[in-house]
Amino acid sequence: MNIAIITGASSGLGLEFYKEIQKEELDQIFIIARREDKLREHAEKFGKIPTRIIPMDITLKENIQRLQETLDSEDTNVKFLINNAGFGVYGSVMESEYSLQGAMVDLNVRALTEITSVVLKHMKENSYIINVCSIASFVPNANLTVYSSTKAYVMSFSRGLRQELKKRKINVTAICPGPMATEFLEVAGIDKGVSKMFDTLPTTKPSLVAKGSVKAAKKGRAVYTPHVLFKVYRALAKVLPRSLLIPFCKC
Ligand SMILES: NC(=O)c1ccc[n+]([C@@H]2O[C@H](COP(=O)([O-])OP(=O)(O)OC[C@H]3O[C@@H](n4cnc5c(N)ncnc54)[C@H](OP(=O)(O)O)[C@@H]3O)[C@@H](O)[C@H]2O)c1
């Protein structure tokens, strides 16, 4: 059974990935998030391919174990793993709630790593892992310090894993969107007027990001950065000294 697994499919970019992946030849799609009602609603509305709803908090170890048991007990071949669930919190490290900062690391880093490790054993040649990273991975962003650090991990993890999986012909792509108008901004506490940087940056439609990401993955790309402005930013971040860029990249 050829399947796709999408984490964080209850809203925003994850939902757009769910819609986009309907175009692939798959037997089933597993969609994961905590809000079961949202997952169910999306499956009923957009699910042309049979969809399995897995309502769970992926930061809980017992849930990763449960996913492992499900995959082990069935004849699953994961064609697409889309590690999309993630969140950020705006504010300085000193002033932000310590537990929220830890929770960000738990979700964006630990859960993503554990799910990948569990799912990899069920992937064969010509399969794809899409890790949702961010432009925040290019340069550390003050006031999003923990978030940008978690995304720098996602970038590094994706590149290392890509190398490991080359022989197995499993492609790993890190995708690096800029701001998108999703629930992310509200969860992060980035209302209008909070961050000059966010107020001035252009937003990209999540549907375009999902479409471009799947295309980039199938082309075997290592990194995909939607929007020309952010492609330029990525190029600059590669060549300019970090000490020069960091003061300008404060959120
Ligand atoms: N929006 C942006 O500006 C932006 C820019 C660059 C990168 N990104 C990245 O894009 C990805 C998707 O974010 P988004 O913009 O689509 O925001 P979003 O609408 O808030 O989506 C986040 C998703 O993650 C799920 N989630 C959160 N905690 C979870 C947990 N513990 N277990 C399982 N699922 C969990 C949420 O579902 P439940 O609440 O139902 O669990 C939701 O489906 C994230 O990795 C984010 O870092 C976003």
Give the β-pairing of 28-33 and 127-132.
Answer: unpaired
- Cα gap 232→203, rounded to integer Å: 16
Distance 239 CA to ligand 1 centre (A): 30
| Domain count of the fold of the chain | 1
| pLDDT computed for residue 75 by the predictor | 87
The yes-or-no answer on residue 147 being catalytic is: yes
| pLDDT computed for residue 21 by the predictor | 98
- Cα gap 80→82, rounded to integer Å: 6
| pLDDT computed for residue 18 by the predictor | 98
Distance 11 CA to ligand 1 centre (A): 7
What sign has the CA pseudo-torsion 227, 6, 45, 215? positive
Q: Is 57 in the pocket of ligand 1 (CB under 6 A)?
A: yes
Instruction: Map residue 159 onto helix, strand or coil.
Output: helix
| pLDDT computed for residue 63 by the predictor | 98
| pLDDT computed for residue 170 by the predictor | 98
| pLDDT computed for residue 211 by the predictor | 98
Q: Is 34 in the pocket of ligand 1 (CB under 6 A)?
A: yes
Do residues 147 and 88 make contact, with C-beta atoms less than 8 angstroms apart? yes
Catalytic residue, candidates 18, 90, 128, 147 = 147
Q: What pTM, to 2 d.p., does this model score?
A: 0.97
Counting as low any pLDDT under 70, the low residues of the chain are: none
Domain of 19, in residue numbers: 2-249
CATH number for the domain that contains residue 78: 3.40.50.720
Residue 5 has a CB neighbour count (10 Å cut-off) of 27
* Residue 239 host element (H or E): helix 228-239
Q: Reading across the β-sheet that carries 170-175, which strands appear in turn?
A: 51-55, 28-33, 2-7, 77-83, 127-132, 170-175, 223-224
Q: Is 37 in the pocket of ligand 1 (CB under 6 A)?
A: no
Do residues 124 and 233 make contact, with C-beta atoms less than 8 angstroms apart? no
Distance 2 CA to ligand 1 centre (A): 25
Give the β-pairing of 51-55 and 77-83.
Answer: unpaired
| pLDDT computed for residue 197 by the predictor | 87
Q: Is 5 in the pocket of ligand 1 (CB under 6 A)?
A: no
